Amino acid sequence: MFLRLYNFLRGYVTVAVSGFAVARFINLAAHKNIYLWNVREKDGRTFLCVSVKGFRLMRQPAKKSGCKLKIVKKTGLPFILYRYRKRKVLALGLLLFIGLMVYLTSFLWLVTVSGNNLLETPALLGKLRELGVAAGLTKSGLNVREIEEELMAGFPNIAFANLRVKGTRAQLSIVETIQRKDFVDKSAPCDVVAAKDGLIHEIATDAGRPLVRPGDVVQAGDVLVSGELKAGADDTGYQSYFVHASSKVTAKLFYEYVFDVPLTYIIKSFTGNVKRNYGIILFNQKIYLEKSPSPFTNYDVKAEENRFNFGPDYPLPAAYFTDTFREFIPVTAHRTVEEAEIMGQTIVASRLLRELPPGSEVVSTEMSYERKDDVLVVSAVVAVLEVISEQRPLKTVNNEQLTINN
């Protein structure tokens, strides 16, 4: 970007080179440290760009190689100023514009964040603003390394942070830490209880005393595996030992869904009539060039925004936008009962996918349908095998064994 701006400010020419030894000419020019760029071939001639000073130095290589040079285009500020040398006001305005653009490039105008799944973008942008990185703030004096360290100190979930400031854009890329699993103290006594109502299907116990068996019906909160072990049941009583109960208990659960699928619905038929409002955005403020309400009764609105920039790394605090109003006519459409049944099955499958925990297994699905006027009532009963066991701390006396007298 800076190289293009530099070439524009000092001026350059596009030259057509013809002859039988163009390669030798380019080598001789490179030997004389003449900087050439955008070299390309077209219609049997070679085109290249060179500064005005470099063009003057190219005469000797051209003579030695027997090539002919022809200027086909002049580009840059010196040529513009010469062209409008008698229009001083225009030249002054152009210089002021260039100066304003150079001044604006000393600020940040776009700050983006990537790599965050757990942390919210507004929170990260707010922290960056506290550290001096925000749209509208100057980028001079920014210590990128210190900002990265401050971010990692302020957000323990950030394992790595990389702040890249280039042009008028600041890009923060982070890597989040893997969520830590809760520490389980296996010396602490606990029971295994039911997290949901269900019909016990299978129980696999590592530690503890099972209180249920397959086929039992349990409710949420019922103890499935006790952490209290009893020993020595005789006339003198028994002793209770408390352990950290551990078990995987699978139960059959039933999910019921009842919902309506309309047989008549509305679709949008676009007429092709369009109304547009145009405007510009300066420093996040919308300014309409012409704003008028939509002339349509039914319409969709599409907003488009295009930011002005000097390349991808130099966005400016200005943009132009278009609000497009598209007229449509509401049209009544009908679906058959068979189509409604398929839609109902799709809705049930998507809800199960969204609601069931990982590792669940759908055993059976029973669907029933009933048409009522202009809707199809869909009923679904889904049997699912699901792990319902969870641990609950067990209260004991000093976590020691107890002797219970009969």
Domain holding 122: CATH number? 3.10.20.310
Same domain, 248 and 271: no
Same domain, 276 and 191: no
Domain assignment of residue 242, yes or no: yes
Structure tokens at 334: 């009908």
Domain assignment of residue 299, yes or no: yes
**Alpha-carbon distance 114 to 137, whole Å?**
21
Same domain, 74 and 33: yes
**Which DSSP category does 138 fall into?**
B
Q: Show which of 332, 350, 365 is a domain's final residue.
A: 332
Q: What is the pLDDT of residue 204?
A: 93
Same domain, 259 and 347: yes
Structure tokens at 311: 């390349």
Structural domains in the chain (count): 4
The answer to whether the predicted template modeling score (pTM) of the entire model surpasses 0.85 is no
Same domain, 284 and 245: no
pLDDT tens-digit map of 19-77: 888 899 999 999 889 999 999 988 888 999 999 999 999 989 999 999 999 999 998 87
Domain assignment of residue 374, yes or no: yes
Same domain, 306 and 346: no
Domain limits for position 153: 110-176
**Alpha-carbon distance 15 to 36, whole Å?**
10
Same domain, 166 and 287: no
* pLDDT tens-place values along the chain, 406 residues long: 567 777 888 889 999 999 888 899 999 999 889 999 999 988 888 999 999 999 999 989 999 999 999 999 998 878 877 776 667 677 677 778 778 877 888 888 889 999 988 889 999 999 999 999 988 888 888 899 999 999 999 898 898 999 999 888 899 999 988 766 666 677 889 999 999 999 999 999 999 999 999 999 999 999 999 988 877 655 556 677 888 999 999 999 999 999 999 999 999 999 999 999 988 888 878 888 877 888 899 999 999 988 887 777 778 888 888 999 999 999 999 999 999 999 999 999 999 999 998 889 999 999 999 999 899 999 999 999 999 999 998 876 554 444 433 3
Question: Could you tell me which residues come within 8 angstroms of residue 183 by beta carbon, excluding any fewer than 6 positions away?
Answer: none
Cβ atoms of 118 and 175 within 8 Å: the answer is no
**Alpha-carbon distance 294 to 287, whole Å?**
18
Same domain, 346 and 224: yes
Same domain, 289 and 146: no
Same domain, 350 and 232: yes
Q: What is the pLDDT of residue 179?
A: 65
